[in-house]
Chains A and B, each alone.
Chain A
């Protein structure tokens, strides 16, 4: 099965990180990503620009409405994702727990829909 692992972090907290801590985090992400590429779980993954760069689009009555900012204001913001291949939910949860962001933020694990 495939799972999308959505990485949520508080951007406010991230903004206050020391440069050394930032470097450390980048190194941890690099190491983690390499490890799941090697183990064959990795399908894709990226980091996202901060939610201040987000634009939300809705079409109502044929009219396109755009608003500044993310879909929902939350304490933690979506900051990146991994798409992984895993045997079952336990395996996916195990990978999610190893994402460096899990220590300070939260990882939402969502199974990918399979179309018949």
Chain B
């Protein structure tokens, strides 16, 4: 057994162990400190005596004892409230090793707490990555290109708010469940999209974030089975992520969909995604946005080449999406699909109309889509102008390099 094996176990079990510890000791910070203590003991002991048969139960048990120690140590300095806390702690129920139901509930509760709508989106994402996914503060900070101090502060404020504002540690009741689940899925998708195409920086993709998002969606799909919106989101992410190896060159340059080597796409992930899309679309009720987006990704994944793609059906699915959840971003995607069915001139009309309405102010991809349409129409001066706007609108280096290549092509003509 190597250090790497132990790391893997921590990554897989930390979120679950923390969720159970929070229930047992009733305090987020105490549970987190106790788990850190338990991990330290494990790192010391496991290499010598081997990994226990039930590593999570081991971490929970040791963590709980460490929490008791911590409360005992503090008790000398503090007053009656802590004595009461200790009382509660010492009489807390023993964690059941095989109590899978209780564990499920613990993790679900923790997810809904971290994704509570009273947190700003970036706080929800940070808390989720830190506590459910078990990323270190440094890793979460790196993922969002903020300093470690700033991220630590964001997390502390978040955890303080849980305690001070009385954010409940529970799965919402039936009336509130659907909107709250939407919030959780939005957090997962936010993590994924940052992994799929970063907002800024040197790297187009952050595969670790995409992987975490997929892992989270699998987890919540297992915890809340039979929900189309979860399956749809998981399918969407699997299908998008399946193209990863084809999406950039070894040098980190963007490879457009039309130029990608489709043999590099992950076939196993595609077939899992396709199966999930079908399941999601078969669910009763009106189709969910994620499932329809996944259906679009499925058509791309199944197409033998860019030209063989069923653009007419893709454009139609974008129209369905516009009815379910209208947004300027979907209108833009719709226009891009229309350009493949009715030609770039028709699509340019749609994009210009969208720009006039002003719904997409600041959205960096609008000038990029316009630029591509103008290029295909042979309007090179206007295209170059639009590529310059697109360059100014992005902070992602690979995109800047791609626009620079296009600008050079336009200038050479």
Contacts and interface: CB of A to CB of B under 8 A. Distances in A.
Given A89-B118, A90-B176, A93-B118, A1 B81 contact: no
Contact of A90 (B81, B164, B172): B172
Contact of B166 (A111, A113, A116): A111
Contact of A89 (B79, B81, B168): B168
B57 interface: no
A92 interface: yes
Contacts of A89: 116, 118, 165-168
Interface string A1-21: 101000000000000000000
B172 A116 contact: no
B79 A116 contact: yes
Nearest to A94: B176
Contacts of A90: 167-168, 172, 176
B165 A116 contact: no
Given A89-B118, A116-B79, A116-B81, A111 B176 contact: no
Contacts of A113: 164
A88 B167 contact: yes
A88 B118 contact: no
Interface string B336-378: 0000000000000000000000000000000000000000000
B27 to A, nearest CB: 15
A105 to B, nearest CB: 19
Contact of A111 (B79, B81, B164): B164
Interface in A83-109: 86-90, 92-93, 109
B202 to A, nearest CB: 40
Contacts of A111: 164-166
Nearest to A2: B166
Interface string B89-118: 000000000000000000000000000101
A86 B81 CA distance: 21
Contact of A88 (B79, B81, B166, B176): B166
B168 A88 contact: yes
A3 B81 CA distance: 21
B159 to A, nearest CB: 14
A116 B83 CA distance: 13
Contacts of A87: 166, 168
Interface centre among B79, B118, B172 (most CB of A within 10 A): B118
Interface string B113-149: 0001010000000000000000000000000000000
A109 B116 CA distance: 15
Contacts of B165: 89, 109, 111
A113 B165 CA distance: 9
B212 to A, nearest CB: 27
A8 B290 CA distance: 36
A4 to B, nearest CB: 12
Contacts of B116: 89
A86 B166 CA distance: 9
Contacts of B172: 90
Interface string A46-89: 00000000000000000000000000000000000000001111
Interface string B141-164: 000000000000000000000001
Nearest to B118: A89
B79 A92 contact: no
A109 B167 CA distance: 12
A92 B166 CA distance: 9
Contacts of A93: 118
Contacts of B118: 89, 93
Interface of A: 1, 3, 86-90, 92-93, 109, 111, 113, 116
8 contacts: A3-B166, A87-B166, A88-B167, A89-B116, A89-B166, A89-B167, A93-B118, A111-B166
Given A1-B166, A3-B166, A109-B165, 12 more contacts: A86-B166, A88-B167, A88-B168, A89-B116, A89-B165, A89-B166, A90-B167, A90-B172, A92-B166, A93-B118, A111-B165, A116-B79
